Amino acid sequence: MDANSAVSAYSKALKAGLREHKHCMASGVPSYVQVLDEVFPDSNSAQQQSVGPMEIPIDLIVGTKTAGRQYALSPSFLPLLSPQSEFANKWANLCVAHLGEVGIREPIICYEYLGRFYVQEGNKRVSVLRYFGAPRIPATVHRIVPPMDGTPRIQAYYEFLDFFKASRLYAVQFRRPGDYAKLLQAVGKEPGESWTEEERRTFNAYYSYFRDAFSQLGSLQEDVLPEEALLLWLQLYSYRDLGRFSVSEIRKALTAMRYDMLSAASHDSIKVHTT
């Protein structure tokens, strides 16, 4: 990509960002990226862990650590600043690098809180890579651990910490205690059993197929997380079926399970009854 094409790409990304910004404002939802210091004001004094360098799912990056760049980016990390800004110029330069021979290799620095990521350094890199559809991004991750308060979400997160130690997977973020144990059983792994790199790649690929199918169900996604739908699906099908079924076949099965997924969203006791 040459410089002119990169400038054109920024203009298209800016138009998409402004559309998203206006839509969010009209809908009464946040129209900029989130800020961790506002989401969790005690983040600087909370317990922190160094997770180290790894690749993280780019769609789990939801905001910035501080408010410095908040107003430059829409919730999907699309740009909002003028094409004549320094931000736009650097964004276009990253475009050229990303589509050139070198690529974007320098890891971003980010904080993870409750399974979501907030960028301290590298917002423009995230913006460019998300715009071009990159699924993952190299990152140096610092984790902020919330205090245990007995709520189901925090209990589930502490179970995630044990799950992560063995799997090094961020892809699934359950809201209810016990769901990680159900997933391990369905996958055929014991609690605490280390995952190989091949097992991680396989799970990420299978889950990507599943999320593609789930994303086609429309408004159901507002109430049900894809990982919650996956647990229900795995009550009827085997883990390996995720690699054998097409996206359309998975979507058809999910459509038949709509009632069960809505029950899951209300946290009712669930018994899958799909024929």
The answer to whether 62 and 118 are in contact (CB under 8 A) is: yes
- Residue of 114, 169, 171 lying closest to 146 (CA atoms): 114
Query: ∠22-25-28 over CA atoms, to 5°?
Result: 150
Alpha-carbon distance values, 241 to 37, 208, 237 (Å): 42, 14, 6
Is the model's pLDDT at 152 over the cut of 70? yes
CB atoms within 10 A of CB 55: 14
With both helix axes pointing from N to C terminus, report the angle between 197-215 and 247-256 in degrees, rounded to the nearest 10. 60
Residue carrying structure tokens 């099965």: 253
Is the distance from CB of 60 to CB of 116 less than 8 angstroms? yes
Both tokens of 190, joined, read: 């014991």
- pLDDT digits 0-9 by tens, 73-89: 999 999 999 999 999 99
CB atoms inside a 10 Å sphere around CB 234: 19
Check whether 270 has a pLDDT greater than 50: no
Q: Is the pLDDT of residue 265 over 80?
A: no
Nearest to 137 by CA among 147, 129, 148, 149: 129
Task: Flag whether pLDDT at 8 surpasses 80.
Answer: yes
* Helices 197-215 and 226-233: angle between axes, nearest 10 degrees: 100
Spell 210-223 as b/e; 16+ CB within 10 A means b.
bbebbeebeebeee
Provide the CA 214 distance to its chain's centre, in angstroms.
Answer: 14
User: Across all residues in the chain, what is the average pLDDT?
Assistant: 90
Residue 248: pLDDT above 50?
yes
Please check the confidence at residue 220 and state whether its pLDDT lies above 70: no
Q: What is the mean pLDDT of residues 68-73?
A: 88
Flag whether pLDDT at 23 surpasses 70.
yes
pLDDT in tens, 155-211: 999 999 999 999 999 999 999 999 999 999 999 999 999 999 999 999 999 999 999
pLDDT tier, 219 (very low <50, low <70, confident <90, very high otherwise): low
Tell me the CB-side half-sphere exposure of residue 124, using CA atoms within 13 A: 17
User: Contacts from 97-100 at CB under 8 Å and sequence distance 24+?
Assistant: 98/128, 98/129, 98/132, 99/1, 99/132, 100/1
